Structure 1
Amino acid sequence: MKRLSWGLAPTLALVLAIALPGAAAAAPVLRVGLVDGSPPCSYREAGVWRGLAVDLWNRVATLEEIPYVVSQWPSVRQMLEASREGKVDVAVGCINVSPDRLERYRFSLPFQEDGLAVMVVKSRLDLGRSFLSALLTPTLLQLLGSYLLAIAVLTGITLRLEVRHHPATDGRRNSLRHVSKVFQVLATGPGSNTIVTTTRGNGVVILAYLVRIVSASLLVGYLTVNVAGEVQGRASGDIRSPADLRGRRVGVRSGTVSESLLKELNTTSTGPKATIVPLASIGEGGALQAERRIDALLGDNLQLSYLLLQEEAMGFLPSLALEGIRPESQAFAYAPALPEATANRIDQAISALKRSGVVSELRQQATTRGNPQAR
């Protein structure tokens, strides 16, 4: 019996040698972390995860046949710490690869680059006041005054040239009514045949026409360039640089590079500090701005651009006062223990999707889709 057992041993070893490689080849299930409330990168809508980063990861997992399970985390910082501690294999999102994060965490191949932006909200009444203030400037008054002065000079020349052909009747020649009529015709155009009959008089009328054309062009150019720019500047709340956020109530998501920027500004400033208002989601920041509970909203350029496309709060007009602040690469984050072979497969899939234009297409779709119903 013992001889029979020892005789079966090589056969059993051969069977195990064939079966074990197949079992070892089974792909492990990756633990994927996501953060809600960051549209258009990652958010939940009707219980389903959506967003640019989510769609990109789904394509990568499908392309490389990677099974995975999803877990939700309160903030990007906590999700990154979970990946560093091995609680999450892949942290999925539009995660900024900042210098301090690069020293602490392990990242995938970057799939896009984005900076920070500042969004402010003004009411239509505020914009109307800004427009009126921009109109009442010395430059515009000088343009209007120069035009009226030129027409007044041409009016005097016309009266002098036509004095012989329009003799005074009942003392009306030099009356204010006659002068105002000539001034009105030269300023507006219609009715010139009623005030001049001489060749020289017609020449003055043509000259007045040229003055009107040139003056109108100058006024339109000034209103288009200067006044529109001034209104936009006033609508932005005089925020010209990140340093102007000091002394204001600024909404940011906790654990983001936006919060780090505000803390850095407060640390390096000896004057007023920015009041950091933590937000559960980017959409909450828009609501707080409409209620005048915060003065500005700081976040990723892509996220705030997406927020601008959503339904505006009634009576308020949002705009981006600053864009492209500290542009950085964005990527996924890996756990230190994630096998190098698996990380390489994910990186190669990201590279292939970038090269084929899929990432650009996902970014375009993310900024044109409809309103998410849940944040």
Structure 2
Amino acid sequence: MPNRLIARLLLCLLLFTPLADANQPEPHMQPTLRVGITEVPPFVIADGSGGWEGISIDLWRAIAERQGWAFEWQPMGFSELLQAVEAGNVDVAVGALTMTAERELLFDFSHPFYQTGLSIGVARAPKTGLLQSLKALFSWGFLSVIGGLALLLLGVGFALWLVERRRNPEQFGGTAAQGIGASFWWAAVTMTTVGYGDKAPVTFAGRLVALIWMFAGLIMVASFTAAITSALTVSNLQYQIRGPQDLPGSTVATIDGTASARYLSEERIVGQGFTNLTDAMRSVTAGETDAVVYDRPLLQYRNQQLGRERLDLLPAVFDQQLYALAVPTGSSLRDDLNEAVLRVTESAEWRLIQRAYLGEQQ
């Protein structure tokens, strides 16, 4: 009897032992990583069909493939992303996160994968040359100045003709059209100080008109010269900006709550905040602001999409910044993530990723 009982116990143990082993997780299985992202082209871009692409997205996919990590995207706003990684609600944050001392106190960064800085965009300078000069001469502003001047000359000529037509018919006589035409000619040559001497008033009233017009002509010539210069010039405040040292005194567009807005505030530069980069860049094209300051790769990407409204991006890069991935403080992923970031960014694949979104000029 005791032997049967022992045998039954051993049989039950053998039957239930495989079931217990089958319910145990495999030692090499890893949980699906929660990857927090926020849209910030060209690093994180919604493709319009529920998917994601961009520099940081392609970087993370290459890292996950190398490491054999399964993951799921968790899109959220930028401030929410920072709070999520700080609280450990995501395993890694992917985007265009700038490494700062303040953020390092809240969570950990990987090795940087992208070095950049702020850059300046200004309205495109018009092409110079004979054709552009002729276009300026036939602009509405320039033609309106010419029209106003012609009306003024006609008015002065008409006044002179009224006082000279009877006592000086040899020079200002004939029909009304002939007399006014002669007076118009006299007013023009007098204003330009040419004074051919072929016509001159002889009455007191006529000479008084001539004296007034001589002094007024000096002012008119100066004003006319200024109008021509203004119409033909190819430089204005926007085109005089050649670097960050030229920004003081200008109105500069940027995005509220970003590193660029903080830079303008620290440098006491007048900034006009916008909610998105495209509107900020278009404000420069429209002449509402003199320049835009923002992260260079983001300016490059948006500039490619503006078409005829495209800006000139100055070559100077200042206020250097480093982009990195972020993980909760003390995350076990950090060491493997650092190694993977270095391997991917040292590969030819990384250069192709950047070129695909930013073009040849990095």
Same fold (TM over 0.5): yes
In 2: Cα distance, 1:63 partner to 1:246 partner: 51
Q: CA deviation at 1:231?
A: 7.0
| Pairing 1:58–2:61 present | yes
Assess if the C-alpha contact under 8 Å between 2:113 and 2:323 holds in 1.
yes
Deviations 1:348-369 (A, max 9, x none): 2222212222222211121139
2:292 is matched with 297
Residue of structure 1 aligned with 2:348, choices 342, 357, 360: 357
Aligned position for 2:247 = 244
Partner of 2:323: 330
Distance in 2 between residues matched to 1:18 and 1:70, nearest whole Å: 31
Q: CA deviation at 1:333?
A: 0.8
Q: Deviations over 1:306-350 (max 9, x none)?
A: 33333433xx55112463212232211112363x1x333332222
Structure 2 vs 1, CA of residues 16 and 305 (structure 1 numbering), >3 Å: closer, same or farther?
A: same
What is residue 275 of structure 1 aligned with on the other side? 271
1:347 to 316, 338, 341: 338
Gaps of at least 5 residues in structure 2 are: 134-232
Q: What is the CA-CA distance between 1:240 and the residue it aligns to?
A: 3.2
- Deviations, residues 234-275 of structure 1 (Å, cap 9, x unaligned): 6444353268256524222x443223323433xxx4xxx523
Give 1:124's aligned residue: 126
Say what the alpha-carbon RMSD is for the aligned residues.
3.6
Cα distance, 1:9 vs structure 2? 4.9
User: Retained in 1: the 8 A contact 2:125–2:239?
Assistant: no
The 3-state SS of whatever aligns with 1:104 is: coil
**How many residue pairs end up in the alignment?**
255
Contact 2:56–2:94 at 8 Å: present in 1 too? Answer: yes
Alignment partner, residue 366 of structure 1: 357
1:6 to partner: Cα distance: 7.9
Which residue of structure 1 aligns with residue 313 of structure 2?
Answer: 320
Q: Report the CA distance shift for 1:11/1:40 in structure 2 as closer, same or farther (over 3 A).
A: same
Q: Percent identity?
A: 19
Q: What amino acid does structure 2 have at the position aligned with 1:70?
A: W
Distance 1:242 1:35 in 2: 33
Partner of 1:365, secondary structure, is helix
Contact 2:109 2:326 survives alignment (8 Å): yes
Report the alpha carbon displacement of residue 21 of structure 1 after superposing the two structures with TM. 4.4
The whole-number CA distance in structure 2 between the counterparts of 1:115 and 1:65 is 33
**Equivalent in the alignment of 1:90:** 92
Q: Is the 8 A contact 1:236 1:320 kept in 2?
A: no
Structure 1, residues 276-308: CA drift from partner, whole Å, max 9, x if none?
41323x333333333334433222112212333
The structure-2 alpha-carbon separation of the partners of 1:299 and 1:7, relative to structure 1 and needing over 3 Å to count, comes to same
Amino acid at match of 2:285: A
**Preserved CA contact (<8 Å) 1:236 1:321:** no
Contact 2:117–2:317 (8 Å) recurs in 1: yes
Give the whole-Å Cα distance in 2 for the aligned partners of 1:103 and 1:320.
34
Q: Please, which of 228, 247, 257 is the counterpart of residue 259 of structure 2?
A: 257
Alignment correspondent of 1:30: 33
Shift of 1:2: 8.3
Alignment CA distance shift 1:353-1:240 (3 Å) = closer
1:83, CA displacement in angstroms? 0.8
Give the residue type in structure 1 aligned to 2:353.
L
The code of the aligned residue for 2:74 comes to S
| Counterpart for residue 47 of structure 2 | 45
Relative distance call for 1:242 and 1:261 in structure 2 (3 A) is farther
- How far, CA to CA, are the matches of 1:59 and 1:109 in structure 2? 15
Q: Quote the residue 1:310 is aligned against.
A: 305
Amino acid at match of 2:59: L
TM-score by length of structure 1 reads: 0.57
- Cα distance per residue 1:11-58 (max 9 Å; x no partner): 745753565241x5322111112222x322112132331211111111
Q: How far apart in 2 are the matches of 1:102 and 1:232?
A: 45
Please give the alpha-carbon distance, in whole angstroms, between the structure 1 residues aligned to 2:244 and 2:283. Answer: 22
Q: Is the 8 A contact 1:42 1:52 kept in 2?
A: yes
2:289 maps to 1:285 = no
1:119 to partner: Cα distance: 1.1
Compare CA radii of gyration and give the structure with the larger one.
2
Q: Distance in 2 between matches of 1:256 and 1:284?
A: 15
Unmatched 5+ residue regions in structure 1? 133-229, 370-375
**Cα drift, residue 84 of structure 1:** 0.8
Question: Structure 1 segments of 4 or more deviating over 6 A?
Answer: 230-233
The answer to whether the 8 Å contact 1:32/1:88 transfers is yes
1:138-196 per-residue CA deviation (whole Å, 9 max, x = no partner) reads xxxxxxxxxxxxxxxxxxxxxxxxxxxxxxxxxxxxxxxxxxxxxxxxxxxxxxxxxxx
Flag the 1:294–1:363 CA change in 2: closer, same or farther, 3 A: same
For residue 110 of structure 1, give the secondary structure of its aligned residue in structure 2.
coil
Are the aligned partners of 1:312 and 1:318 in contact in 2 as well (CA < 8 Å)? no
Partner of 1:106: 108
Secondary structure of the 2:31 match is coil
CA contact (8 A) 2:250 2:270 kept: yes
